[in-house]
Structures are given as structure tokens and as C-alpha cells.
A and B are shown apart, each in its own frame.
Chain A
């Protein structure tokens, strides 16, 4: 396979994944009781588009299976096949199967067991349709009538329904499709205007004039197309041009106008698969004599038009390119700081003004560039509908998931990496927190458990909350388990929050403890670590007997940090500003490393010692008071250099062992400054003292 095709194939899988997500969302909405033909349309569209693009890549297995699904969906869409919970479950399984097939395309051929699974599902699909899928081709000897009503129709005293009834008297109305494509949204819709459209197949002995006479009074205001049985291709082409927006795909148009049946279309796509991906579907349709050239060209023209309007709204960009852009903009910000500084030293007022203007633009550019990386969390959230659906069914629990704040935007990296830990938290809540319906009833609760997933902005960070209305956290049980696992000796003297945080300690949950549901190779310690890697924190709120809330607090973006610049010797360090409480001079202190902060004992760390700096200690040093998770500590540094906003760069693989440095940044003088990870620094210091404390105690 050539490189280009691999890239295209990747695009295909990404796009298919998005379509599958949409399909799943719609299926779950159907299951939740929403009866909306738009949902069926969305599901149908997803299956149909995946089939089409799979055909381009010669992925026969996907095409064949998606076609079966599509046939059933077609029946649902036309109202022949009612949809119920069993069918939704079957369709969800079909969705999974398509996803597995699409996924397997990245490897070579689809594995045999996958295909066998597909055959089983296909059999079930056929069973629903009652035997072989039937053709829905309109009769060859029927007239096709396309009617788009003029808005004045009702007000002129006309009614398209009367016309339909009249047509019915001329022969047999084989099918009538009523279109609401032109019907505006409720607010803008005038009930006395007519927005309706009709596609009609009429089998009749009447001649054209007779049929035409039905439209005599509305011909002025409305669009009417009459296509005789066995019509010339050019007329079909004309009709396709006149079709309303919404039926954009070439195949779709040809099928919905009766030029092709679904089977003929599928056959054509099959040929395309074997031939070569380069040959356009349209050419094959024509070659095989399945559709007239004029009809194909007309449909293609429409499809291209539709593609253009949709394409204008989004551009797919490689994430690397975005990162590079953000990097460069970061450099630009830094170099502009230098320019501003230089300009301020000169006496050239005009230069200073020009520099000020350009630096304002540069800041706007930076904000815009960072904005490119921001994506809404909603896509990740809605994945959990499925998790909740499957898992609660498996466990015999009734749980609804309520999502809010899906439009909240955060850094793409965060969105990508938050999925797994959130999944784990959701599974954990379903598995452990929410009780069985019987238990809930006995406790006087609604048997329907409720999970709430919410995201919102708070003080420049993102807060993601997962609340359940389950049994809440049991301090005693957690403490016992932690003692059993050797994590603590006793829970005496520990605050509730400290005890609850033990859940996140490595080794708290073990394989035999965790059911295979919340297991899946990640423990709560991994959840916490992932969040902390993203510079976030995890908090727990307990409502005994009423549930619990897990709160993930995360920075808006990973690319920029507000920091406080300090120096130790020749080196400069950045302390994240959100951890800085205050700064002060280090006065006279004794032998012990703590000082009196307004009557409070504040332990401090001498960065100089920690960093083994060998330069001479200055006469006066300063203290940066930092706090995190309720702990306070002082960092003793040589000099305070003030606040700065700067672009974070990873320090790279080589330095990954340095836990207390979270990254670095290029300072305005071109020097590299290291960003301190305050929680790690403080925790390490605590641990060091704790161990040496134990040792001294043991020696005594």
C-alpha cells in the first residue's frame, strides 16, 4: 500500500468513527424514548456514508454489512418497519460490528471470526425483514411527479392535498413522499405559507394533459415536474437538479428518484470495489448501463455543490501542524517581549507606538492560535451514554446519565487523555457506587439511579464533575482496606478527605477485588496520575447514603502557563502562579527549616540545597509561599523576578525521570527556565522527612 493511500485510509477511519459516534448517539436517543424521524435519518445517513466511503477503499466486508443494515433502516425510515427496543439493541450491535470492521481495516484483512459474527448479525437483520431484502423500485410504468409548492398556495385558496386526491382518482397512487425540507424552523415559519413538497408515483391510464390539468391552478406559483414512464435520461437529470437540498449523495438521489434500486446501487458499488478506487462510481453506473450518463452527471453536480457548502465550515488539520503553529506563536510572543523592552529603552516614540500595536496583535494571534486547540468536551461525554447503557444492563441496574456543559471547550490534549480516566470513574460509579434497584427501593430512593456528568469553567480552569446518587463513600471500609493493603497503619487522625484519597493510592484496588467491569487494566491510581500529568487535581465530595462527587480540576490549556519567575544561582525557575500564595523575605531563621507565617508554622524547602547549587549564597533570600491540596510550604529562592506568562515546552524523554520538573520554557533572554512541579516537590520533601523521622525513631 502506498503512503498516500494509508493517509487517506486513516482519514477514512477517523471519519467513520465520527459517523459511528453519531449513529450511536442517535440509537441511544431512540432507546431513551425520543421518537424523531431525524434520528432514523441520522442513523441511516451514517450507515450509508460509511458504506460509500468503504467502497472507495475496496473494503468489501464493510460495504456488504453496511448494506444489510441500510436495507433494514430503509424499511424503518419508510415506516414499513416499526422500531422498538429489541431492534435498537440489534442495531447497536450492528454499530459495534461496523466499528470493529472499520477498525480492522487498519490491519490487513478482517479476521475470520469477525466475518462470522457479521454473518450471524446479517441473518438476524434478514429475519427482521422477513426473508430476503426486497426491492423498492417504483413501477416502470408509473409516472413520476415532483411537486414543490409555492408559498402563496394556501392563501390563494389552494390545497396540495386536493391535488393528491384528484390524482388518486386518475389511477393508483403507488407512493407519496411528503417533504418538509423547505419547512423553516418554527420561529420563522408562517403557518399560512405553504412549504410542502411531494414526490409522487402514479400509475395511470391517463395521458399527460389529463395529469397536467391537476396542476392547472398552481402552475404559476409552484414547481411541477412530470416524468412519463420509461422516460428519457435527460428528464431524470433535470429532475435531480430540481430536487431539494438534503438528498445529496449520488446513490441516494438515484435511488430516491427510482432511477436505481438499492440493489443495483450496491452492485455498482461492488464493481467499484473490485475494479479500482480510482474509477468514479458514476462511470461504473453508466458503463454497466445502470444509469444514464445525464442522470449521473446531474447528480454529481449536486453532490459537489453540497460538498462545498459543508466543507466550508470545517477544515481538518493535522494536530502536529497546530502544535507547530502554537510553538511558533509562543516564540513570537517571546521575541516581541524583547522588542518591546528594547523599544522602551529608546527615545523613539513612534517606534514605541508601533511596537505596542504589533505586540497587541501578537497577543491576539496567540489567543486565536490557542483557541484552535480547544474542542468541546461533549463528544467525549456522549460516549458514556453507551458505557452506562451496556454496563447497567449487564449488572441489572437502572441508571440514567445526565450530561450538561458538553459545549465547554478545553485543550484537545486534555480531551484526548481524559477519556480513559473518565471511563474508569463512570464504570466505577456504576459498578460500586450505585446500588441495585431493590437496594435503592429499600433505602427509599428512586430505583432509577442517576449519574451526572458536568463540565464548566471556574476561575480559569475547567471543572469536570461526575456525581452519582448512590451509597456514598464508606470511610470505615476504605480505611480497613487501606490497612489490609498496608497503605496505612491506622486511620486515626486522618481527615475524611485523606481517607478518601487513599482510593487513589497505588495498590489500593487489586485484580481480585475489582470486578472485570471496572477492572480493564486501569486502577484509580492511574486515573489520578493521568489527571495530575495534565496538571489537574482530583477531589472527592461525599454525601453518605446519598452519593458522591468526583471533581477533576484541569487547566484550560496545556500550552501556556502563568508563572512566577525566581532565580537560584544562575538558573531560573518558574513556579506555577496558581500554586503561589504570597512572597516574603526570608528573615532570621533558626536551625530548623520552618518559619512563622502570621502565627502559623510554615515548613520550607531550600531550593538551593535541593538543586545542589554551588554558587555563593546571597546575603538575602526570599520565600515563595506555595499551596496545593490544602498543604502550604515555603520555597526559599535567591531572587524573585516577577510574574510571567509563558509557553510550556516538554523537557523531553531524556528528563522524564525528573518528577519535580513539569516542563520548561524559553525565557526572553533565550535561556531555558525550568518549571517546578510544586505538588511533587512538596510531597517528596514530606516523604523524605517521614522516612528519616521513622529511622530516627527506630534508632532511639
Chain B
């Protein structure tokens, strides 16, 4: 898992898996930067705890979720949360 800052577009790129093993670190990093746009196109795997974390930062840190990878799109659809992430603009 990695979180890279993209200076040009002022957004963060989250890559690799987002599962129970990563959520602690990801939570800390993302809560420290409220209001950012988070690019999810590099997320290879996402479980329930990953989804829960995305819901949290969206709700409490105002993080905008964008460009969900297939793995993310799939679970958002499954849970009736497709509106949570935006298509890339």
C-alpha cells in the first residue's frame, strides 16, 4: 500500500490493497489531510474494513473519493454506496 501526493492535481493516490492490515495507517494519514481528493484508481483489493474507512473519511474528513478501481467499484455497488465515489473528471 502507498499514498502518494500528486502536486499537480492536488490529490492523493492510494495504491495497493486497502484491507484490515492497512486501515490503521491509512486512517492516520488521511485524517491528517482533511478535505483532499483521494484517487482510488490504484486500489487492488478492498475489504469491509477498507470500505468502512472510506465511509469514515468521506463523512468526517470531507475527503472526496474519486476514480474508483474495479475492486472498489465492485464493493460500492454491492453495498448500495455507488454515490460515495465520483468518476474521474
Contact = CB atoms under 8 A, between A and B. Distances in A.
B35 to A, nearest CB: 10
B78 A176 contact: yes
B23 A186 contact: no
A32 to B, nearest CB: 13
Contacts of B64: 35
A183 interface: yes
Interface string B15-52: 00000100110110001000000000000000111011
A161 B60 contact: no
A342 interface: no
A34 B63 CA distance: 11
A79 interface: yes
B80 A161 contact: no
Interface string B51-89: 111011101111010000000000100111111001000
B41 to A, nearest CB: 19
B24 A192 contact: yes
B79 A198 contact: yes
B86 to A, nearest CB: 8
A178 B80 contact: yes
B48 A194 contact: yes
A177 interface: yes
A537 B20 CA distance: 61
Contacts of B75: 161
B48 A154 contact: yes
Nearest to A195: B52
Given A165-B78, A178-B79, A159 B23 contact: no
B49 A191 contact: yes
Contacts of B62: 34, 36
A164 B56 contact: no
Contacts of A154: 20, 47-49
B59 A176 contact: no
Contact of A196 (B24, B48, B61): B48
Contacts of B20: 154-155, 192
Contact of B57 (A162, A168, A186, A198): A186
Given A159-B47, A191-B27, A194-B48, A164 B79 contact: yes
A189 interface: yes
B52 A79 contact: no
B80 A194 contact: no
A139 interface: no
A185 B61 CA distance: 10
Given A154-B20, A159-B47, A183-B59, A196 B82 contact: no
A4 interface: no
A109 interface: no
Given A183-B52, A183-B56, A194-B48, A161 B23 contact: no
Interface residues of B, number: 28
B49 A194 contact: yes
A37 interface: yes
B60 A186 contact: yes
A168 B78 contact: yes
A361 B31 CA distance: 46
B78 A161 contact: yes
Nearest to A77: B83
B52 A175 contact: no
A322 B23 CA distance: 52
A192 B79 CA distance: 19
A246 B88 CA distance: 32
Contacts of A173: 78
A672 to B, nearest CB: 58
A650 B64 CA distance: 55
Contacts of B81: 178
B56 A186 contact: yes
A180 interface: yes
A520 B75 CA distance: 55
A161 B56 contact: no
B83 to A, nearest CB: 4
B46 to A, nearest CB: 9
A173 B78 CA distance: 9
B47 A161 contact: yes
A135 interface: no
A576 interface: no
A40 B30 CA distance: 24
Which of the listed residues B60, B83, B86 has the most CB atoms from chain A within 10 Å of its own CB? B83
A84 interface: no
Contacts of A185: 60
A162 B61 CA distance: 27
Contacts of A164: 78-79
Nearest to A79: B83
Contact of A161 (B51, B59, B86): B51
Interface string A17-61: 000000000000000001111100000000000000000000000
A27 B38 CA distance: 25
A449 interface: no
Contacts of B80: 79, 175-178
Interface string A236-260: 0000000000000000000000000
Given A175-B80, A192-B49, A180 B61 contact: no
B59 A38 contact: yes
B78 to A, nearest CB: 5
Given A186-B61, A191-B27, A176 B49 contact: no
B52 A194 contact: yes
B88 to A, nearest CB: 15
Contacts of B57: 186
A159 B48 contact: yes
Contacts of B27: 186, 189, 191
A661 to B, nearest CB: 54
Interface centre among A160, A161, A173, A194 (most CB of B within 10 A): A161
Interface of B: 20, 23-24, 26-27, 31, 47-49, 51-53, 55-57, 59-62, 64, 75, 78-83, 86
User: What 7 A-B pairs have minimum CB-CB distances, sorted nearest first?
Assistant: A191-B23, A79-B83, A186-B60, A176-B80, A178-B79, A159-B48, A161-B48
Given A154-B47, A161-B51, A192-B49, 4 more contacts: A168-B78, A178-B80, A180-B59, A189-B27
14 contacts: A34-B62, A38-B59, A154-B20, A159-B47, A161-B48, A161-B78, A162-B48, A165-B78, A178-B55, A180-B56, A180-B59, A183-B52, A186-B31, A194-B49
